[in-house]
Chains A and B, each alone.
Chain A
């Protein structure tokens, strides 16, 4: 058959089979026993030409309501943000996206340096000493942090605040089960981790305490208070953070965190139905040799010229094999690159300005809704999300919003049974005053 991805001509095949010393292709598969040999062709859809397939898939994509055509107030861990257009121009350079892991540093200096810069930017935002080259996503990065704390402290309990993203909590629990670690959830009070309950639960058997900052409800957790409790029993303080928020908020590294993880999706990475995004993983110097995944380090070549290599790989699964503490052997390099370009474009001033815009716009939306008589539940210091109690059912409200071209906030009742008909509203810098007012008006119609 002829296909644009397959250059072998009939003549090529003839010559190559002759060089191999066989007369038919089938002879090369004679080691597959007849009993397991697949006969015929797969029962799957026939191939389509490039134009026909593009047309079909464009139509299929058109059956989804996208965030660029609708006005979205949906966040809950994945956000619709300003992605500088330059990001896509950089990551579309195929020297980056068609490469693999930089195993050969002499011809991978571009990728290695880009990761080194990414690591630097993450340490700057989080206030930590060291960041790795990235993880699958924020949820799995958090789970790996929990496992690191268990390995490091040789303790088998994790305290996990219920104000952490529900799906990240689920992932932590799955990983914990794998390594026989117990997870105990800490209740929340007034929208933040219940500090009194945490004090009750903490013992010297606790490996790590996990909180999210800003938390799932958008609230800023009292990290200072929590840190004292955690470290009083020499547990590890693990903070999951939206890195954009850290443009405006005191970084966890300055508030005593031992491990900071999160997802760099707010920096130039499309929501893409939940993935691929880009986890990050940052630690204090003390933990540098325990970090899962890959690290890029600076060194010199034979002539003393600066260069970059994958380093501290003795920690990695491919050397430690069955002594591994983590099995991650890749990163999200291309998305880390996207995040780097976005962080570079925003830069020192832009990251702060964008973070502040989020705070301002969310604050404005909160005020507008309050003026309309809505109850903002858990009201208090927050980033770009807050909780509204709906006077009608969530479903009815959301359907109505959708009809008006608005994608409403997250249904908190779906993961917090006590919060039925509560909506988690996200307001990013991309939402205009006009959109916020329209959203409030649509909600307001229900209120009367």
Chain B
């Protein structure tokens, strides 16, 4: 069934069928012509599908079967922390008192929601070691931009208007330089040294009176902890800059190291990663930002505060960068993250990181004989292999990724970070069992052998998916971005 071409919903549409049940019209109707100008009354109906409720359910069920999620199988997509998404989170987020409340209800009618937001802020403050947190940003990249806008506002408030540069390591997430650009700042790259860490000499070279901030992920995108983090922070602080923590990899250091204790001034978190979002096929996420004391005045407004036993939204923040999003952030995702944190508790979160790091190191050691390991030291929650050995045999990392699909796995993140040739970034997470890891390792070993003995099996993969490799050039050259009859 799944190997048949899948119809579009528009292709199963039949005039006369409906899939809805609108409320009864119980008021006196008037003719639209009497109350709207003719030129603003829609002349032709939008061509939306006409299908029955069962048609809809079958259609989307069929689509879901053509999709791989964490619940379908192992998903070691590096940097994305594809851990299990707890089901209680979904139930809690759907409670009427959370799902069906309006952002403009008066504070006294939504005390439960405000209390949850406040308590989540408090938990994130403790987890990050920062002094205050805003829940407003919608995603990690949105949080990055928010953080940089605050740093810019901070420097400007000090009359320090010449700080226009953001220093970013060559291994950084692609969003870092993009966020800097849309915050009106320029990016300067700092090199990595032979150990995959920030090159301190190069940092000293690029830092200066024009430095607004350094953006850093720690552990970095290679899964390596920046051991000289205090020196790095000092170099930047001495030059008058701020240090920004990209929290994408927080799963590696829960209860082990807090950004606030490492010299960071601003941190964003990806609640859909470390705190079980879920990822939703690409969103919605949530990207809270934490700051140290001196940046608090610049937080986006409003902030949830407590006055006596009442929770309130504080808009009286004259130095705020303003709003970065309507309302108060992705509350529904924040509810899920809060539920997760409360399900784990302090010892649970500690075990999360320990198990995630054991899993990653175990996989790295077992795979090291078969693939190149560019940086041979303990990793944190993820590690990066290089497929350059296989490339010499005519098998590229892309081929290895596609071959993994035949085993029912989502491949690792590939060709990232940019400073590793034929990179494969593997992040198992703590919610996977040893049996799952072993089975994946076996598949990777088999693929390494295939690369030597029968490379065409790998080069022509995948063999078992509902479609073969797709022509991306055609898609880009002649874009077909919507269905046409």
Contact = CB atoms under 8 A, between A and B. Distances in A.
A382 to B, nearest CB: 8
B88 A53 contact: yes
A167 B326 CA distance: 5
A298 B480 CA distance: 5
B342 A98 contact: no
Contacts of A334: 280-281, 283-284
Given A47-B342, A270-B100, A324-B181, A120 B482 contact: yes
17 contacts: A30-B378, A42-B255, A61-B96, A67-B102, A80-B102, A82-B22, A98-B72, A100-B75, A109-B466, A171-B325, A180-B184, A250-B42, A272-B101, A302-B468, A326-B182, A334-B283, A344-B19
Interface in B289-331: 300, 321-331
Interface in A74-101: 74, 76-78, 80, 82, 84, 86, 88-90, 92-101
B80 interface: yes
A55 B320 CA distance: 37
A101 B434 CA distance: 26
Interface residues of A, number: 204
A249 B40 contact: yes
A261 to B, nearest CB: 12
Interface stretch (A201-209, A360-368, A370-378): A360-368
Given A12-B434, A250-B41, A330-B139, A97 B69 contact: yes
A72 B102 contact: yes
A66 B109 CA distance: 9
Contacts of A94: 69-72, 85
Contacts of A271: 99-103
A410 B104 contact: yes
Contacts of A102: 281-282
Interface string A48-59: 101001101110
Interface residues of B, number: 197
Contact of A270 (B145, B332, B378): B332
Contact of A28 (B17, B358, B462): B358
A364 B174 contact: no
Nearest to B81: A100
A212 interface: no
Given A97-B279, A116-B482, A298-B481, 13 more contacts: A1-B351, A8-B358, A64-B109, A66-B101, A99-B67, A110-B65, A120-B482, A139-B326, A249-B36, A275-B329, A305-B5, A327-B178, A344-B19
Given A111-B282, A136-B139, A250-B42, A76 B104 contact: yes
B470 A98 contact: no
B481 A95 contact: no
A300 B45 contact: no
A349 B115 CA distance: 42
B178 A381 contact: no
A286 interface: no
A350 B50 CA distance: 9
A327 B179 contact: yes
B8 interface: yes
Interface string A281-323: 0000000100000111111111101111101111001111111
B63 interface: yes
